[in-house]
Amino acid sequence: MPAELGDLDARLRVLEAKEEIRNLLQEYRRTLDVRDMRAFSALFASNGTWTGASGTAAGPEGIYEMLTAVLPENPPAPGSTLWHLITDPQIEVDGNRATARSLWMHVRRGDGDTPLLPTLGSYEDDLVVENGRWRFLLRSVSRLVPDDPGEKG
């Protein structure tokens, strides 16, 4: 490929990476909300790590085991179904590695069938290309409100 085409191609790859990472962040949210924890854990690299209030686990199988052990069911209506809202992320791409930062809120069906927003938190992500796809290398889930670690949010 001529040099000028190679330059355009490299710039396109950065933009495509950002779009794929946006989709990855949404897939995390979607699979978590519907409790498809097999699809959820496959969003992590083979040595990818999830760390948050539920603990720390590595690799898709380890993450699957830990989260299915501690995550409550997500009952449909009229249950207190829980969704995640995530904000537009900040993404930095450097070749086959990237970082992303975003905020999230829980939205829960509360008493009287009205929305409650009981939790605000942040995601800090390291991302990596594995087998041609962007995957989480490290997702750190922090809760900002409530601050008290004894609360489950």
Nearer to its own copies, 57 or 98 (CB): 98
Nearer to its own copies, 80 or 96 (CB): 80
Residue 103 binding its own copies, by CB under 8 A: yes
Nearer to its own copies, 10 or 70 (CB): 10
Rounded least distance, CB 115 to its own copies, Å: 5
Contact present, 117 and 106 (Cβ < 8 Å): yes
Contact present, 78 and 113 (Cβ < 8 Å): yes
For the beta carbon of residue 60, count every other beta carbon within 10 angstroms. Answer: 22
DSSP one-letter string for 80-133: --EEEEEPPPEEEEETTEEEEEEEEEEEEE-GGG-EEEEEEEEEEEEEEEETTE
Nearer to its own copies, 68 or 133 (CB): 133
Residue 53 binding its own copies, by CB under 8 A: no
CA torsion angle 126 140 85 17 (round to 10): 0
Residue 12 binding its own copies, by CB under 8 A: yes
Rounded least distance, CB 73 to its own copies, Å: 17
Q: Could you tell me which residues are beta bridge partners of residue 86?
A: 104
Q: Among the candidate windows 37-45, 47-55, 58-66, 112-120, which touches its own copies by CB under 8 A? A: 112-120
Contact present, 78 and 109 (Cβ < 8 Å): yes
Residue 34 binding its own copies, by CB under 8 A: no
Contact present, 131 and 121 (Cβ < 8 Å): no
Instruction: By CB under 8 A, name the binding residues for its own copies.
Output: 1, 4-5, 8-9, 11-12, 15-16, 18-19, 22-23, 26-27, 30, 77-78, 81, 83, 85-91, 101, 103, 105, 107, 109, 113-115, 117-120, 144-148, 151
